[in-house]
Structure 1
Amino acid sequence: MKKKHVKAAMAVTVSSMLLLAGCSNSKEESSTASPSAGATAAAGSNPALPKVITASIYDRGTVPAEEGTYESNRWTKWINEQSGIQVKWTPIPRSQEVDKFNVLVASGQAPELITSYDRNMLSRFVSQGVAQPLDEYIEKYSTSYKEYLKKHPELKPFVTFDGKTYAIASMRNTQAATMIWIRQDWLDKLGLKVPTTVDELVEVAKAFRDGDPDGNGKKDTTAIAMSNAYSAVLDDLFMARGGEWFIENGQATLSFFTDRYKEALSLRKTLYSEGLVDKEYVTDKNWARQKQLWITGKAGILFDQFNNGPTADFFKSQPDAKLTPLAPISTKFGKNGYQKEVPNYLLTIFNKDMKNPQAAMEFVDWMLDKGWYNLSYGQEGTHFELKNNVPVTLDADKLKKEVGYASEYRIVHQEVMSPEFLLARASSDANDQKVQKSIGEAIQVARSTDFRKDFPYTPAVDEFTDISGQFQKKWDEIVTMVTMTPDLTPEKGISQIRSEWEKLNGKSIEAKVQEWYEKNKADFK
């Protein structure tokens, strides 16, 4: 996707936030089972080719200095030792991945395994001949992944380009992604009910702003704290996420040009003008101030990923706090659920210049059979102990520090997160138990209501890909201006967005997206 908001997941990517799993009683459906020994990939290894591959890894800046770097740490060394494949990692900043990959590809320095959430970017690499088909390699060298694809046919549309398999994919570990969190203890203190509509949410936010819910005798609370998911969550309330395509009366239409987005922009403006959000958010580039507002109890509502509201830091700071994952609320257009990601997790293509595709497929099979487990839960006896075949965390802080970043290396996995599993693997620490219980509740809430997503992935239209980054900068600027300028109405803002869209040949792109939709819509079912 082109949106900067979305997550990745999440680490559920506990996302992301994140994301669907589900078939019958096979091992990939229960994280309560230890990893099987699994089958190794096809025999007949070519001894003339060194088992060395290069691979990309998302750089989110989460590797503690004492752990090393994304290129070299306890887990990169463990992977090389346990898999028998020497993997050299190329860090890719999450927020700059398109530009970074484009530079690496153009200079001939791209890694052999290119991994991304962005199917559209990978589609471009396929059309440019950067990627190569994988059907022969899967058939010849894989055992486990080949069987995995058979068990999860829902992955096929996401790994298929022009009738051929061009990507490795993994099922998500839960479908939940975004969430609105609210302080239940603040609602109780002020005698308020859980809001069920947008209007009620605004009224609750005003009460949080004015009613001294933290009890310090000062009017110093900010009702709503933000994150990089703020825009996505707010727009999703109206089924109009910024920059996404919808089908309106049979026509492919950008969200900005729907009545629903105008209402979303109007709500955004209201929350700002009424002082219900922190007015310094524009300069809060890493959302550090927003996080601090939430953790220190100066905000009562959080727009974020489903797993980011209830954290150990939050409960340490607010030991008496009670959190509620807010059920989807109604708007004049009806009720939309929280974002539910597509079935696949990361997608990985093989660079055409890959020297040893057999080693790469062996690595995929090893990761699916064994590697994902320790990269998710750490080492037995150090980070977890098995109880009823569940990896129960020994020390939540140690796990976060030493294992928290490791899930980025899982290009495939079999982790499935359910409320029961999360609670079962919580450590004895009271805060960790609160965290896992709350996240489990959020998963259930996310499942309760359908999420409107007319296109399962961004339309693979080169012209749209070419201008999307430039267009996003423009619409971000306009949305910010409308939000902060009293006499600039949502209608005027949308008119400006339309003008910028048309300057970028938007009408022609709409026609191409419509053509792409008609050609591919049968695969969306």
Structure 2
Amino acid sequence: MLKKHKKMMLLTLAASLSVTSLVACSSKSTDSGSSATPNSTASAAPASAGPKPELKSLQVWQQEDYNTYPVAKFLEEKTGYKVKYDMMPQDKPTDKLNILIASGEPYDAITTNGTADFKALYADYAKKGALTDLGPLIDKYGPNIKAAIDPNALEAAKVDGKLYAIPTKTLPSAGESLYIRQDWLDKVGMKAPTTLDELVAVLKAFKEKDPGGNGDKNIPLTIRGEAMFINNIVGAFGISTFWNDVNGKLTPRVLDPAYKDYVTFAADLFKQGLLDKEFAANKDATAKEKFTSGRAGMIMLHWADVPVIADALAKNIPTAKANFIPALKGKDGKAGLTAPSGFDRITFIPKASKHPEDAIKWMNAKLEKETFKTMAIGEENKHYTFKDGAYTPIQPIFTDERNRANNFLMGTDDTNYPTYWQARVRKDMRLFDAWNFMNTIQPANTRIKDPLGFAPYLPEFTKNFQQLNTMVGDYTTKLIFGAEPLSGLDAFIAKFKSSGGDVSFKEVNDWYATVKK
């Protein structure tokens, strides 16, 4: 993974140099790309004069063709803009994006994922002068953008004080937790665990009483290999996310005193045979097969996977039943289910765009309240029904015509979209019940958001995060597996700090000191 990361950084560097050369040598292109600023001569002309130009948009990868998807036709009718959609490849999208930016491909809007690698590229492009400053354009042509999008999200999307992208916020829903065979619990005469001690007792009962009749193939708990921080369990130690507040400072897990307690607990599960002895080699599909085949009694699972897992389990074992367990409490009462925070998507306009004003007008038109709602979930009594404050999809047309609507978003109606969005989890009531249990029934304080979700671009943190994350993950796996002694933790911490941990800690907390209340 580290080699892959280094390769990506080299590609990013090479492309960044190309971007720098492009911006420096193509002043005519740069000037035309920024002609929408209020002080420019071009912006003084009425933007509505003449027919609207066809826009060119680059999107994230999806299975269907954007151009023929029903949402595209709807948006063309409502906004008046015809758009030619391209999409990035599923594999190595950052490489493709670097090439397109460096070559000056005249896209009018580019939407990427909001993950750390794309945020880093976005900030780099902005610093190199390859993107259009959207502030003046939004002031002039974006009243819906200003009204709909959370001001905190807009602020977090700025680079060096200027806004170069429209952020689409991620929804802070808890995703993964521990999914357990209820029929196994019934057979051993126990209830779903609510504490770490109860969890251990249940897993011991699964091992010793073998309710699945698997003999020596019995697995009390299985996880995928890269999930060494087991969601729900890790929350009981107060380290749900990579960075957590410790005495007023954002602190990486490995520097948190609770880290040692967590790895000791997880290693003990492994030693007792309660955690899958093959977990380090498990792919996601491997762990799921062990659960759906009836060999494992518990798995770390995302609620979005419940229908598929439930169908496979029912096919293999018709009498099987399974549910998510509550957020487990640790010895000090801590509990937590990791919830994302920050950007799901970011949309920017490259300087090479031929129509920056129209691109902003198009995005603004998409955020008109009724247009946005219809784009996101369709028409009432055609795509959904509305009753008692809940949006329920009408199938199969909702899935056929709105399942990919989220990929057309360029900012959301942040007040209403979280409610509209719930139509998606009502496509299958098993899906809704799983999501609802984790995000409504469980106490609100158990959903722990990433505290860095809305942090601005932090160059040292961004540069070092992937490497540090990989280091900690690999080391944690070795500790749990027994391949490294816990006595070596101090030496590892020293290596972590010297590999970018110290400078990242300072940068993160310099920012954190300005925002914490």
Structure 1 residues 101-123: Cα deviation after superposition (integer angstroms, max 9, x where no partner): 45554555595424332365244
Residue of structure 2 in register with 1:481 after alignment? 478
The residue that corresponds to 1:271 in the other structure is 269
198-207 vs 107-116, greater mean Cα deviation: 107-116
With over 3 angstroms needed to count, the CA separation of the structure-2 counterparts of 1:474 and 1:371, relative to structure 1, is farther
Contact map agreement 1:181 1:309 (CA 8 A) in 2: no
Residues 118-164 of structure 1: per-residue CA shift (max 9 Å, x gap): 36524444333333332222222224223213xx4443442344444
Contact 2:115 2:343 in 1 (8 A): no
SS where residue 327 of structure 2 aligns? coil
Residue 391 of structure 2 contacts residue 423 of structure 2 at CA under 8 Å; is this kept in 1?
no
Report how far residue 204 of structure 1 moved: 1.5
Give the distance between the partners of 2:500 and 2:309, measured in 1 at CA: 47
Match of 1:465 among 462, 477, 484: 462
Q: Give 1:308's aligned residue.
A: 304
Q: Deviations over 1:430-461 (max 9, x none)?
A: xx333322322221145432427544445633
Residue aligning to 2:163: 165
Contact 1:206 1:276 (8 Å CA) reproduced: yes
Question: Is contact 2:288-2:309 (8 Å) kept?
Answer: no
Larger mean CA deviation between 386-395 and 349-358 belongs to 386-395
- Measure how far apart 1:302 and its partner are: 2.7
- Aligned position for 1:351: 350
Code of the residue aligned with 2:410 in structure 1: it is: I
**Are the structure 2 counterparts of residues 400 and 211 from structure 1 closer, same or farther at C-alpha, using a change threshold of 3 Å?**
farther
**Matched residue SS, 1:289:** helix
> Given the superposition, is the C-alpha separation of residues 477 and 354 from structure 1 closer, same or farther in structure 2, using an over 3 Å criterion?
same
Query: Is 1:441–2:453 an aligned residue pair?
Result: no
Query: How many Å separate the matches in 2 of 1:448 and 1:454?
Result: 16
Contact kept? 1:385, 1:391, Cα under 8 Å: yes
- The TM-score, its normalising length taken from structure 1, stands at 0.72
Unpaired runs of at least 5, structure 1: 5-41
Distance in 1 of aligned mates of 2:487 and 2:454: 28
The structure-2 alpha-carbon separation of the partners of 1:494 and 1:372, relative to structure 1 and needing over 3 Å to count, comes to: farther
Cα deviations across residues 49-84 of structure 1 (Å, max 9, x unaligned)? Answer: 733122231x3xx62xxx5x5x66535754675453
Inter-CA distance 401–159: structure 2 relative to 1 (3 Å threshold) = same
Shift of 1:344: 5.3
Q: Does 1:45 align with 2:48?
A: yes
> Is structure 2 residue 162 aligned with structure 1 residue 142?
no
Q: State the partner residue of 1:117.
A: 114
Which digits, 9 at most, give the CA deviation of each residue in 1:321-360, with x for residues without a partner? 5444322212245413212333654332332333212332
Q: How far apart, in 2, do the equivalents of 1:229 and 1:419 lie?
A: 31
In structure 1, C-alpha distance between the alignment counterparts of 2:239 and 2:152, rounded to whole Å: 25
* Cross-structure match for 1:196: 194
Partner of 1:512: 507
Q: Does 2:69 correspond to 1:74?
A: yes
Counterpart of 1:295 (choices 281, 286, 292) is: 292
- What's the CA shift for 1:168? 1.5
Q: Secondary structure at the residue paired with 2:297?
A: strand
Structure-1 separation of matches of 2:191 and 2:74: 50
> Could you tell me how far apart the structure 2 residues matched to 1:72 and 1:133 are?
28
Instruction: Note the C-alpha offset of 1:420.
Output: 12
> Structure 2 CA distance, aligned partners of 1:516 and 1:173?
23
Aligned 8 A contact 1:222 1:276 in 2: yes
Quick one: distance in 2 between partners of 1:177 and 1:468?
A: 22
Q: Deviations over 1:444-485 (max 9, x none)?
A: 145432427544445633123223333333333323322323
Alignment RMSD: 4.0
Q: Distance in 2 between matches of 1:107 and 1:474?
A: 35
Equivalent-residue separation in structure 1 for 2:350 and 2:493 (angstroms): 37
CA distance in 1, matches of 2:246, 2:172: 29
Shift in Å at residue 403 of structure 1? Answer: 5.3
Contact kept, 8 Å, 2:145 with 2:411, in 1: the verdict is no
Checking the alignment, whether the CA contact within 8 Å between 1:101 and 1:110 is kept in structure 2 is no
CA contact (8 A) 1:312 1:435 kept: no
Match of 2:126 in 1: 126
Deviation at 1:399, TM superposition (A): 6.1
Contact map agreement 1:186 1:208 (CA 8 A) in 2: yes
Task: Answer whether contact 2:104 2:352 (CA < 8 A) is retained.
Answer: no
Q: 1:437 to 1:210 in 2, by over 3 A?
A: same
Alpha-carbon distance in structure 2 between the residues aligned to 1:310 and 1:156 = 34
Partner of 2:408: 409
Q: 2-side partners of 1:453 and 1:88: how far apart?
A: 32
Q: Is the 8 A contact 2:203 2:221 kept in 1?
A: yes
Quick check: 2:106–2:353 contact (8 Å CA) kept in 1?
no
As a proportion of its length, which structure holds more helix? Answer: 2
Q: Which moved more, 1:255-264 or 1:170-179?
A: 170-179
Paired residue secondary structure (2:174): coil
- For residues 10-89 of structure 1, what are the structure 2 equivalents within 5 Å? 44-45=47-48, 47=50, 50-57=53-60, 59=61, 63=63, 67=64, 74=69, 78=73, 81-82=76-77, 83=79, 84-89=81-86
Paired residues of 2:194 and 2:329 also in contact (CA < 8 A)? yes
Q: Distance in 2 between matches of 1:187 and 1:474?
A: 37
AA partner of residue 205 (structure 1): L
Q: Aligned pair in 2 of structure 1 residues 462, 387: CA closer, same or farther (>3 Å)?
A: closer
Structure 2 counterpart SS, 1:308 = helix
Supply the distance in 2 between the matched residues of 1:514 and 1:440 (Cα, whole angstroms): 34
Q: Paired residue for 1:16?
A: none
2-structure distance, mates of 1:202, 1:154: 42
Equivalent residues of 1:328, 1:449 under 8 A apart: no
Q: TM-score, normalised by structure 2?
A: 0.73
Stretch moving more, 257-266 or 474-483: 474-483
Native 8 Å contact 1:260 1:333 kept in 2: no
Post-superposition shift, 1:493? 4.7
| Count of equivalent residues | 459
- Distance, in Å, in 2 between the alignment partners of 1:445 and 1:419 is 19
Q: 1:283-310 CA distances to partner (integer Å, 9 max, x unpaired)?
A: 444x1112223334433323233x2352
Question: For the Cα contact (< 8 Å) 1:85–1:359, is it kept in 2?
Answer: no
Give the match's secondary structure for 1:303: strand
Larger of the two Rg values belongs to structure: 2
- 1:113 aligns to what SS in structure 2? strand
The answer to whether the 8 A contact 1:178-1:229 is kept is no
1:495 matches 2:498 = no
Q: Is the 8 A contact 2:101 2:350 kept in 1?
A: no
Stretches of structure 2 that go unaligned for 5 or more consecutive residues are: 5-44
Task: Give the structure 1 partner of residue 22 of structure 2.
Answer: none
Change (3 A) 1:346 1:183: same
Aligned to 1:33: none
State the one-letter code of the partner of 2:206: F
* TM-aligned CA distance change 1:483 to 1:368, over 3 Å: same
1:313-352 to 2 correspondence within 5 Å?
Answer: 313-315=309-311, 317-318=313-314, 320-342=319-341, 345-352=344-351
Contact kept? 2:175, 2:339, Cα under 8 Å: yes
Output the CA distance in 1 between the equivalents of 2:96 and 2:263.
Answer: 32
